[in-house]
Every structure is written in C-alpha cells, then in structure tokens.
Amino acid sequence: MNIAAIRKRKNSSEKIIMLTCYDYSTALLLDSLGVDLLLVGDSLGMVMLGYDSTVPVTMEEMLHHCKAVSRGAKNSLVVGDMPFLSYQISNEEAIKNAGRFLKEAGCDAVKLEGGIEVADKISAMVKAGIPVMGHVGLTPQTASSLGGYKVQGKDLDSAKKLLLDAKAVEEAGAFSVVLECVPAPLAALITEKISIPTIGIGAGPECDGQVLVTHDLLGMFEKFTPSFVKKYANLAPIIKDAINNFIEDVKNDNFPDDDHSFSGNSEVIEKLKWGK
C-alpha cells in the first residue's frame, strides 16, 4: 500500500480500510488481514496510557508506539498522529516534528487535526516531502472549544465551515482527510466536492473509506464506547473469564499440571537430595 494507491480509491468501489494500531503484535494481525492504513492515533493516550483525553500525549509517547507498529507492518501504510502542540506553534516546528515520525519511527505519513487554520502547516509539510492526512469535524485535541464530543456541522454556518475546512486541507496538499462526527448527508457532500479521499468515523456510509478505534471495534475498552461504533466482538468479558480461570487454577493447584511442566531426570534429583 502507498499514497498513490490510496488516492486512486477516490470514488472507487473499493473502500479504504483504516484501523488504529498501537503495538507490534496487533500490527502483525491487521497487516496480515490487508488493512490499508494503520493509524497510530493519539487515542492511545486514553486506551493505552490511561489519560482522560488525547491532549496530554507527547511526541515521545507517539514515536515509541509508532516504532512498534512500523516493525509489524509490512504492507499496510502506517500513519502517525501528530499530538497536541507538536504542529500548531510554527511551520518550522511542524516540519521538524512531522519529519521525526518518518525518520525515527518509520511512518509513511502523518495526520493532524484542523482545517483552514492549519492549512499552512499542511502545505509546508507537503513541500518538505512529508505525506499528510487531514482531520476535520470533531477534532478531539480541541473538543472542549467545540462544545465537547458531539456531532459537528449541524447548522448552516458550521456546515459551511466544515466544507471550507475540507477544501483547505485538499488545496494544501493532503492526500486524504478524516471526517469525524459529521452528519451523513454533509459528509457525502464533502466527499463529492473534494478530489481527495474522505475517511469517515461517525460520518455515514458515503465516505471513500472508514476508520474505527480497534479497541472499540473489538469491545476491549469498557470505559466509553461512542454511539457510532459497531462492536464486532465483545472481548473484554472473554478476557476477564480467561484471567479468572487462570487465577482459580493457580489457587487450586490445577495449573501448571503435568502437561504444562517439564519432566526432569529423577536420578539427578536423587543425587542432589543426598548431596552427591
């Protein structure tokens, strides 16, 4: 998978598949299944690091996880999420930090949140040779200024702003854009109006692709599940049952048994007993 191949999926019958990924073993699994894009999202702050939001996530934390995912991804395109304040300060700072995702962490591209207000940052990165994915609609890093985690673009003014944001991201040179928590008809219109692929999350079926947080999809994160998430499994109770069974087996001396232990040389043991 490469940037050109993603661009060709625009208005294609073959939808783009993107999932979040934060570690090597999960990268191996998703890569083997043909997932197009592995997003090392700053959502790792909540599902992996226990933060209350994505805001506290640092560059070093992002690079650490991106390195692990890059080691496991042989075919999927790896996209690193730029954390809060890693690109907003200046174009120079944005290029420097984005470059670290490619140079140090082995990512193929970066993603950053915002529309018109970050278009100059996207343009600067692209001119520096860094592939960029945009992200408009609900932008978690600035969710508090948007009134919280809720659907964006419901009235005329905010819908116009979203369309202009998507166009600004396109014109700045991004190869695709995530639309998060956008009414389905508006997401469909944006998808029609811009020439780069749209990847939806809570944005209806007409986008050129879809992304979900893998822990949500698998039912592994019980603290909160967004309403737009479809759970394809509910692994948390299964994992809990397995751990409880292990605890009980150990407490009752049922594990390890002979099948899960190594046999020794009885003659050696006897000699050790008698100090020989």
Residues annotated catalytic, as ranges: 180
Q: How many residues does the chain have?
A: 276
For residues 64 and 62, what is the distance between their CA atoms, to the nearest angstrom? 5
Residue found under tokens 């508090």: 144
The DSSP 8-state label assigned to residue 149 in this structure reads S
Residue type, 80: G
For residues 112 and 265, what is the distance between their CA atoms, to the nearest angstrom? 61
Please state the φ and ψ torsions of residue 183, each to the nearest 5 degrees.
-55, 140
Whether the bond into 256 is cis, omega within 30 of 0: yes
Question: Nearest to residue 68, comparing CAs of 22, 103, 102, 32?
Answer: 22
Q: Radius of gyration over alpha carbons of the chain, in Å?
A: 23
Pairing mode, if any, of strands 37-40 and 198-201?
unpaired
The DSSP 8-state label assigned to residue 146 in this structure reads G
CB 133 within 8 A of CB 174: yes
CB atoms within 10 A of CB 234: 11
CB atoms within 10 A of CB 245: 12
Q: What is the DSSP string of 39-100?
A: EE-TTHHHHTS--SSSTT--HHHHHHHHHHHHHH-SSSEEEEEPPTTSSSS-HHHHHHHHHH
